[in-house]
Copies of this chain bind each other. A is one copy, B any other.
Amino acid sequence: MRIYAILLVVTLFSSAFSDETPGSYLLPRPLIIEYPSEIETTRHKKSDDEQVNLHCTSWRFAAETNNLSPWQTIPAECAEYVKDYVIGKGYTTDLERVSEEASIFASSVEFSGDGKDIWIFDIDETLLSNLPYYIDHGFGLELFDHSEFDKWVERGVAPAITPSLKLYQRVVDLGYKVILLTGRKESHRLVTVENLINAGFQNWDKLILRSLDEQHKMATAYKSEKRDEMVKEGYRIRGNSGDQWSDLLGSSMSQRSFKLANPMYYIP
């Protein structure tokens, strides 16, 4: 449409111009010649952009639906796409949606009132956002650096994921027991507690971190074992919120699981 608009303006002005000033008919020429070429470039660029967008959306879907083999970094060609998604509206919209859906479900569960209904939350990219770290580390394009990430964790300044804080408060208000089950190590307990409280999270029932002898375990196994224990103790796992499938799959799965978006990294 806009291409036609430009050509229309050029044409209208050309004829008006040539009628009134017959001697200067050459003047509009560069404009007429230059514009289509610029439009052509824009069109090619648009077509390339569309291809990348299609490819990277498809990659993101495959990642979010757990169709990919374990991956260590995001595809290089999707670096800009992932950046635009996480710092743009897409990520926020997705996080709000999953919070709302979880909240609807949490409210719909009929409570027995024996205090055995629990909701599990993962921490990183579920309650707390490490986006400030990933902004400085290529949004998942760089290989994960444990010691660099540990330094970030130890600063204890990760902000809350606002829609998750809303869900968290709703779940606490509804009377669920809240269990925080994280892959963070036991030595980070204090800084994690401080960070959570400063970010607005309170009143959890238990915070489970990895002990030294659990460091080698795959996340799916470690988290499944912890859920198995809860079930053995007679708890009913009603909801489970996590950004990794390893937070959600395995044994003693919850009644409903909620997968938060995370296109930046994968934990098996």
Residue numbers of A with Cβ under 8 A of B are 1-3, 5-6, 9-10, 12-13, 16-17, 20-21, 24, 27-28, 31, 35, 38-39, 42, 54-55, 57-59, 61-62, 64-69, 89-90, 93-94, 97-98, 101-102, 104-105, 249, 253, 257-259, 261
Contacts and interface: CB of A to CB of B under 8 A. Distances in A.
Contact of A105 (B16, B59, B69): B69
Q: Secondary structure at chain A's binding surface: helix, strand, loop or mixed?
A: helix
Nearest to A68: B101
B12 A42 contact: no
A10 B125 CA distance: 50
A252 to B, nearest CB: 12
Given A35-B9, A61-B61, A61-B64, A2 B42 contact: yes
Given A54-B89, A62-B94, 16 more contacts: A2-B42, A6-B9, A9-B35, A13-B28, A17-B17, A57-B57, A58-B90, A58-B94, A61-B61, A61-B97, A62-B101, A64-B64, A66-B259, A67-B101, A67-B102, A69-B101
A264 B258 CA distance: 21
Contacts of A9: 6, 9-10, 13, 31, 35
Nearest to A23: B20
Contact of A104 (B1, B57, B69, B258): B69
A158 to B, nearest CB: 23
